Amino acid sequence: MSDLLQLVVSEGSSDLHIRVGVPPVIRVHGILHRVEGPVLKPEDTEELMRSITSEEHIQSVRERGGADFGFAFGEAARFRVSVFKEKGNFAMVLRQIPSKLLTFEQIGIPPVAKELLYKPRGLILVTGPTGSGKTTTLASMINIFRCSGWCRHDWQYGQRLCPFLNRDSNILIANCALAIYQLIDPVSVVDS
């Protein structure tokens, strides 16, 4: 696994896909590339998965079909990891999390978009396909709030961008309502 993660970091890849029946796949600038090497067998994917996954998360995969967690590759990078079962076999997708917050200028967002952040009311939607920079954009926005003193909360990039995030829609709705009642501003709702 270390060799694959080092490849992801050195190539500037956003994702690593591991599944049975194909070699590992990395996403570089939105394009999927197969890594040179043998096709992965069920025992290969399980060994790779076990090398970075706690027993608690493995149990979650067995009981609920999946587990999501963060993983640090030494000082080189952090990853958001999704482990799941695909046709009865373990599979994984690892998304590299940028190690530093980028500015709007660095990610190519026009200055007019930054002005929207200072409007007293409104809704900003950050949408796009996998790997297009939604999380990076939200982290940049939240960092602008932190640096400007608008945000009263200690936002932690690389962990949760919003304390009200949950995949269960009923809990999400209840938590968003709670955020509104408590007048928390801004509220970031993300689909991981």
Q: What residue spans define the domains of the chain?
A: 2-97, 104-181
pLDDT band at 128 (very low <50, low <70, confident <90, very high): confident
pTM of the model: 0.64
pLDDT in tens, 137-174: 877 877 776 666 554 444 443 333 333 333 443 444 44
Residue 53 exposure: Cα atoms within 13 Å on the Cβ side: 26
Residue 2: its pLDDT value, please? 87
Q: What is the distance between the alpha carbons of residues 96 and 13, in angstroms, rounded to a whole number?
A: 7
| Cα–Cα dist 178/170, whole Å | 12
Q: What is the pLDDT of residue 186?
A: 54
Question: Which of 17, 163, 167, 39 is CA-nearest to residue 96?
Answer: 17
Neighbours of 68 (CB within 10 A): 14
Q: Which CATH code of 3.40.50.920, 3.60.9.10, 3.30.365.10, 3.30.450.90 fits the domain covering 2-97? A: 3.30.450.90
| Cis-peptide, bond into residue 186, ω within 30° of zero | yes
74-91: average pLDDT? 89
